[in-house]
Amino acid sequence: MRRPASAAKTPITNIATRTSCAVCTALKEFQNRMLKRLTPTECRQFCNGHGWMVANSTPAESAAAIFLTALADADWKPAAPVGERCDICQKMGEEKEKRLCEVAEQLRDLKVHSWFHDNGMLCSRHGREVMAKLPEEVRENVQELLARNEEEVIELLEDYLGHAKSGSHAGGGVLGRAAEFLLSQRGIEA
């Protein structure tokens, strides 16, 4: 099977927005790109979530070969979320570490730091992980960013609840945004 040429990664500074965690967005982009070019030799062990993603997103020929390999292996078992990790989870973990380091490095630049503080977003999980990689003087500003993001989500949820009590149930993605802030984007981490 031939692999398409891999596209260059989008720099964190190009995907940072006020409405979506920059690390989550980068990881989702990485995962989507990886699944589209996945070969059977790269995916011998997979967890439940990534098994379904292979079925839904990997080219049919590769997905079938991945599943046939698993069925032919008498010792095959699904990767567990803890302990054994699936091949895709491992690659996602490696990419996450690279992207967290990229954000931490970018935040050391005063101009980027200032812009990101005013206009960027990090989910609570990735915000805490980035803070652990930063010097104390930069951590405080990331804490302020996380507090601002949390306040925005609280305001959206309170507004949503007010409308729901009056009979309007249109959420406009509010619940998804709250879940993303608390947990990270669906499907990118076990």
Paired tokens of 121: 């977003």
Note whether residue 69 is domain-resident. Answer: yes
Residue 172: which region, alpha, beta or left (left: phi > 0; alpha: psi -120 to 50)? Answer: left
Note whether residue 112 is domain-resident. Answer: yes
Tell me which residue range forms the domain holding 161. Answer: 12-183
Burial of 135 (0-12, 13-18, 19+ CB in 10 A): exposed
pLDDT at 6 over 60: no
DSSP state, 82?
A: S
Paired tokens of 27: 């990881």
Of all residues in the chain, the percent with pLDDT exceeding 90 is: 27
Note whether residue 5 is domain-resident. Answer: no
Of all residues in the chain, the percent with pLDDT exceeding 70 is: 83
Q: How many CA atoms lie within 13 A of 27 on its CB side?
A: 29
pLDDT at 175 over 70: yes
Is the pLDDT higher at 152 or at 76? 152
Task: Give the largest CA-CA distance in the chain.
Answer: 57
Collapse the DSSP code of 47 into the 3-class scheme (helix H, G, I; strand E, B; otherwise coil) and give the result: coil
**CA end-to-end span of the chain, whole Å?**
29
Of the pLDDT bands very low, low, confident and very high (cuts 50, 70, 90), residue 171 is low
Note whether residue 4 is domain-resident. Answer: no
Q: How many domains does the chain have?
A: 1
Mean pLDDT in residue range 2-14: 58
Note whether residue 7 is domain-resident. Answer: no
Of the pLDDT bands very low, low, confident and very high (cuts 50, 70, 90), residue 2 is very low
Alpha carbon distance 187, 177 (integer Å): 14
Q: Model's pTM, two decimal places? A: 0.79
Is the C-alpha dihedral spanning 9, 49, 46, 129 positive or negative? positive
Alpha carbon distance 133, 122 (integer Å): 14
Collapse the DSSP code of 49 into the 3-class scheme (helix H, G, I; strand E, B; otherwise coil) and give the result: helix
pLDDT tens digit sequence for 83-108: 467 888 889 999 999 999 999 998 88
Note whether residue 174 is domain-resident. Answer: yes
Nearest one of 109, 118, 128, 113 to 23, comparing CA atoms: 128
Tokens 């980035």 found at: 130
In sequence order, the 6+-apart residues with CB closer than 8 A to the CB of 47 are 78, 79, 80, 81, 85, 86, 88, 89, 190
pLDDT at 188 over 90: no
Tokens 């050391």 found at: 108
Note whether residue 121 is domain-resident. Answer: yes
